Structure formats: structure tokens, C-alpha cells
Amino acid sequence: MSEPQLMLTLSDTAATETLGRTLADALLALAADIASRGCTIYLQGELGAGKTTLARALLQRLGVGGPVKSPTYTLLEPYEASRLHLYHFDFYRFKTPAEFMDGGFAEYFGPGGVCLVEWPERAGDYLPPPDLRIVLQDHDPGRSAMVSAQTEIGAKCRDRLPGLR
């Protein structure tokens, strides 16, 4: 799907959290679509670019209580909140893409689930393509986010982020 990219300037950590909360609201609005086909969101960027900050704000907005842990060591943190099945992946520690299949992670991608994937490039071609790709980059000051839709559901999510433009 060739859709225009949304470029956002995120002046500080609070702005990254706002993006996460706004994306959570978009996912809630699309819960019926997600139930029938799922939604995969790639979160890309260097270390410290804000991927986990964005994911944490999204999960908290959806009602995940208590601390939201980074899945850097566990590789997957599952959650159920606001009628959604949420799976937060972090593949930073993968040494080879085949670890995706070896870990049995493919079963989480499909109808009913929202998969937030940090470091998707480390899973290579084993990982299903994203519905929505968010690339975060640090700048001095702040950071930027490039949001691009790869599918219809991704475009619906992206189009619900206009308040951030």
C-alpha cells in the first residue's frame, strides 16, 4: 500500500507518550477490524529513540496497570486490556532471524491480536509485514517519528493521528 507518510516532531518524552496514547485510542476505535484480522506495528529506531516509551504509554492508555516492563530479556510480554490482546515483542537480543520461528512467536500474529514489535529487522523475513511502521529518530532537541501505513488497517490507524501533525 503506497500511502503518504506522516512526519511528526516529538519535542520531548511527553510528546512520545502522547503519540503512544493517541495510537492506543486509534486501536480501540478499530477493535472490530483487529478482532477479524489483527494488527502488527513495527517500532523502529536506535537504542534510546523512544520505542519502549511509546509502547509503554500505549499499553497504559489501554488499561494495563502497574509497571509495563520492557521485553528485552523475555522477548515477549503479553497483555489483555480494553478488549484487546496485546503482545509486546523486543527482538534486540536475536542473534539470527530463525530465533523468531524457534521461539514459536508466529502464533501471536493474526486475528484478535495487536503485536507491537521492537527491533523487527532482527527477525528478518520470518516476521509478518507490518500494518503500521513507526520509525523514531533522536534529534537535538527531541525526536521525530515517521509513521507509514502498509495496509488498510494501518492507514486507518495513521489517519487517526491528525492531532499530532
pLDDT digits 0-9 by tens, 50-97:
899 999 999 999 988 877 777 777 889 888 887 889 999 999 989 999
Q: Which residues pair with 44 in a beta bridge?
A: 135
- Asked whether 137 and 144 are in contact (CB, 8 A), the reply is yes
Those residues whose C-beta lies under 8 Å from the C-beta of residue 148, and which sit 6 or more positions away, are 3, 5, 6, 132, 133, 135, 154, 158
pLDDT digits (tens, 9 = 90+) for 107-128: 999 999 999 999 999 999 999 9
- Residues with Cβ within 8 Å of 3's Cβ and at least 6 positions away in sequence, in order, are 148, 149, 154, 155, 158
Q: Which residue in the block uniquely carries the three cell numbers 494501518? A: 154
Q: How big is the chain, counted in residues?
A: 165
Give helix 51-61 / helix 13-29 axis angle, nearest 10°. 50
pLDDT mean over 98-103: 93
Task: Please write the tens of the pLDDT for every residue from 8-19.
Answer: 888 888 999 999
Closest CA to 116 of 105, 103, 104: 105
Cell numbers 522477548 label which residue? 75
| DSSP secondary structure code for residue 13 in this structure | H
Instruction: Give the predicted TM-score (pTM) of the model.
Output: 0.91
- Ordered alpha helix ranges (H), 30-151: 31-37, 51-61, 99-102
- Transcribe 99-129 into DSSP letters: HHHHTTGGGGSSTTEEEEEESGGGGGGGSPP
pLDDT tens string 33-61: 999 999 999 999 998 888 999 999 999 99
Q: What is the pLDDT of residue 135?
A: 95
